[in-house]
Chain A
Amino acid sequence: MTRWIKIIAAFFTSLTGLACFLILLILGVIVGDILVHGWPHLSWEFVSTAPSADLAHGGIFPAIFGTVALVLIMTILVVPLGVAAAVYLHEYARQDSKLVHLVRLALQNLAGVPAIVFGLFGLGLFVRFCGGSIDDLLFGGKLTIGQPCILWAASTLAVLTLPTVVVATEEALRAVPRNYREAAYAMGATRWQVVRYVVLPQSVSGILTGGILAISRGTGDVAPILFTGAAYYLAHLPTKLNDQFMTLGYHTYVLTTQSPDVEATKPVLYSTALVLLVLTFALNFAAVLIRSKIRRKLRQT
C-alpha cells in the first residue's frame, strides 16, 4: 500500500518537474529559433543603414533610432513622476490614509489595463484632446501636434510603465534603514531634506532598476503605439516632437503580417526580431543584476 502511495507521489512530483522543463524548453526553442535564423543576416551594415523601399533589404537603423528616441522621451516623462509618486506613498503620506490605498489600487489596475486600451487612451487623450487643444491655442488651429507623433506615443508609454517605476522605487525606498531618516531629522532636516539628502541617494540603484525595466517594456510594446505615431516606412528620422517614427517592434509586426513576399523578407524579419530580443534581454539582465546587488546589500544590513 505504501509503495503504491510512493509511486503516485513520484509520478505527480515528476509531472510538476516536467512542467518546469516544458517552460524552459519552449523558452529555449523561441530564443534558439530566432537566434539561429536571425544571426546570419546580422551585420554592422544591418544596424546602421536604412531599409530599402520593399523592406526586404537594407538595414533597420531608423527603427533602432526611433525605438531609442521613443524610449528616451518616455523615460524623461515617467521617471520623475514615478519617483515622485513612490516618494509620496512611502515618505509623505500617512500609511493608513484612504488616499494611499486608492493610489495603490490605481497602480495595480494601471498595470492590468490591456495595451490596446492604452493605445485608444493615447489616441483619445493625448493625440486628439491635448494635441488638438495645443493646436487651437498655440497654432491657431493648424494641425501641428494634434496628430500621431513621437511625443504622444512616448506619453502613452509613460503612463503604461508608471507602475513599474513606482514599484521599483518603493522597493528601494523601503530598503533605506529607518534610523537613517531618524538621524537626519535629529539634525534638523525637513521632510524633503531627509528625502533629498539621505533617502534618494541611497535609492538610486532601485530607481535605476525601475527605469531599466520600464525601458525594456517600452521597447517591446507595440499595441500602444499602433495609433499614436508608429509608422513602417519613413524617409526621415524623427527629429521633432511631432514627427512620426519607426520602431523595432512595429517593424517586426508589419514585416510579419503585411509583407508582400514572406520568403524574401524572412532574413530581415528574423534579424529585426533578434535585435529587438537582444535589446530587451540586455535591459532586463541589467535590471536583474542591479536588483540582486541591492538585495544582497539589504541582507547584509
Chain B
Amino acid sequence: MKPILKLDRFSAWYGDAPALRDVSLGVYPNEILGVIGPAGGGKTTFLRSLNRMNDLVLNFRMDGTLAYHAIDLYRSAIDIATLRRRLGMVFAVPVPLPGSITHNLALGPRMGGAADDLQARIEKSLRAAYLWEEVKDRLDLSALSLSGGQQQRLCLARTLMLEPEVLLLDEPCSGLDPISTAKIEEALQALKKDVTVILVTNNVMQASRVADRTAFFLQGKLVEVGPTSQIFVNPKEKVTHDYISGRFG
C-alpha cells in the first residue's frame, strides 16, 4: 500500500535551534497514527509541518522532502489554503470562534467557496464528532457557551466540514474530562474509514487505545515507528520501552 504522506530525511529548525532531525516516515491511508514522546521532542513541529502551518512562524526552516500524494509540499507551487483544507487540524486548546455554532461550522466552506448544502453537511459533521445530539436544538447559540469538551468536538466538526483527507490532531484531549475524551476517541475510530488520522498525544495510554500504528519522537528524531501492539509490548529500542513504562517523560 502506498503512503498518503511520506517524509524523507525531513529536518526542521526554528532559527538555529533544530526541531526535527532526518525524519523518515510514511503515513498510510485510513489508519490512525499515534505520535508520542516527551515535550520538546518535535511532535508538534512534525504535525504542523504537514499542513505548512509552520510557515506562519518567522524563523522556520526545513530540509528534506515531505510528499503528499507524491507532491513535494515544500518545493512545488501549491495552493496552501487548499492544502490546509485537505489536511485539517485540531489544536490542543479548543478555539471556538465568536459566533453561533452554525457560524463556526459554516465558516470553512464559506471561505473555500463551496457553501452549498450546508445544513446537511453541518448535521453530518456534528454527528461524526459525536456532538449532534447535544447541540441539535441550539445551533444558533454562541459557540463560547459550550463546555470545554463540547468546544473541542465543535472544533473537530468544524474541521470535518472541510471534508479533509487527513486529520491532524495536536493533543486534542489535553485538559478534557474523561467522558469528552472517550467521545473524541470513539469519533476518531469511526472516522477512520473516511479519513486518515494523525494523533499527537501526551497520553501514552491514549495511543495504545486508539492508534493502529505509533511513532515515538525523542529530541527531534524519530526513534521508532510500528504497529501499536508491537511498540507497546515489544519495542525495538530500549528508550522507547523506558518512555512507555514511565521511566522518564
Contact = CB atoms under 8 A, between A and B. Distances in A.
B82 interface: yes
B88 A189 contact: no
B89 interface: yes
Interface stretch (A178-186, A227-235, A252-260, A263-271): A178-186
A193 interface: yes
Interface string B134-164: 0000000000000000000001001100100
A202 B103 CA distance: 14
B82 A188 contact: yes
Nearest to A94: B58
Interface size grouping (class) on chain B: 20 to 34
Contact of B111 (A94, A193, A201): A193
Contacts of B81: 188-190, 193
A188 B84 contact: yes
A185 B97 CA distance: 13
B56 interface: yes
Nearest to B84: A188
A182 B159 contact: no
Contacts of A189: 81, 111
A187 interface: yes
A139 interface: no
A182 B56 contact: yes
B107 A186 contact: no
A197 interface: yes
Nearest to A190: B81
A198 interface: yes
Contacts of B85: 187-188
A93 to B, nearest CB: 12
Interface size grouping (class) on chain A: 10 to 19
B91 A186 contact: yes
Contact of B95 (A179, A190, A197, A202): A179
Contacts of A184: 97, 107, 111
A187 B51 CA distance: 10
B53 A188 contact: no
Contacts of A201: 98
- Residue in A187, A189, A197 with the greatest tally of chain B CB atoms within 10 Å: A187
Interface in A175-211: 179-180, 182-190, 193, 197-198, 201-202
A197 B85 CA distance: 16
B226 interface: no
A202 B99 CA distance: 10
B91 A197 contact: no
A202 B51 contact: no
B93 A179 contact: yes
A167 B186 CA distance: 48
A37 to B, nearest CB: 49
Given A182-B91, A186-B51, 15 more contacts: A94-B58, A179-B95, A180-B95, A180-B97, A182-B95, A183-B97, A187-B108, A187-B111, A187-B158, A188-B82, A188-B108, A188-B111, A189-B81, A193-B81, A197-B110
Interface of B: 51, 53, 56, 58, 81-85, 88-89, 91, 93, 95, 97-98, 107-108, 110-112, 155, 158-159, 162
